[in-house]
Copies of this chain bind each other. A is one copy, B any other.
Amino acid sequence: MRLYIGLIHYPVYNKNEEVIASAITTLDLHDMARVAKTYEVRQFFVITPLEDQQELAQRVQRHWTEGYGATYNPLRKEAIELVSVVSSLSEARSEIEEREGEPPLCVATDAARQQGRGISWKALRDLLEQEKTAILLFGTAWGLHKTVIEGADYVLEPIWGKRDYNHLSVRSAAAILLDRLAGRNP
């Protein structure tokens, strides 16, 4: 599959619906990189325009790929190697287009705000199985800013469990969606 994921730290909402650049959570990088490796995601873009936050993400990556962590835990190394720190979504899209020879479909994830361009995970799985290139976008903090959602080609249907509670961490949401989209047992 030509599947990529992006974790967006700007522009996202805070609790008061203001636009912010969120801080890197190192555990997001670890958990999502391991999920990405498990489901053979081609690259995991960590997207932030803040230089100190880019540096933090790169430091985490270096520790586990070159530093002490690489020998301490080689399995972690294999996962963290998938991380690519970029300053914007358009930079991620350019990197993907260069590698794949076509621009990726941008698929936003959003727990609450339903839009017209919704797509079910089964339909997206079909597209991926047809070797379509796509990047799945996750928002940090209180979610992706509407400009990201409006600029996406599709908005993935929210994860529903039993009733109407769907307030998962971005780490949990990424795990569940990649299992649905790319797992052996759909």
Contact = CB atoms under 8 A, between A and B. Distances in A.
Given A160-B184, A185-B121, A78 B165 contact: yes
Contacts of A175: 168, 171-173, 175-176
B30 A167 contact: no
Interface residues of A, number: 38
Interface in A13-41: 27, 30-31, 34-35, 37-40
Nearest to A78: B165
A89 interface: no
B179 A38 contact: no
Contacts of A171: 31, 169, 171-172, 175
Contacts of A78: 165
A116 interface: no
Interface of A: 27, 30-31, 34-35, 37-40, 75-76, 78-79, 121-122, 159-163, 165-169, 171-176, 178-180, 182-185
14 contacts: A27-B27, A31-B172, A34-B169, A35-B172, A38-B162, A40-B163, A75-B165, A159-B183, A160-B183, A160-B184, A162-B184, A171-B175, A175-B176, A180-B185
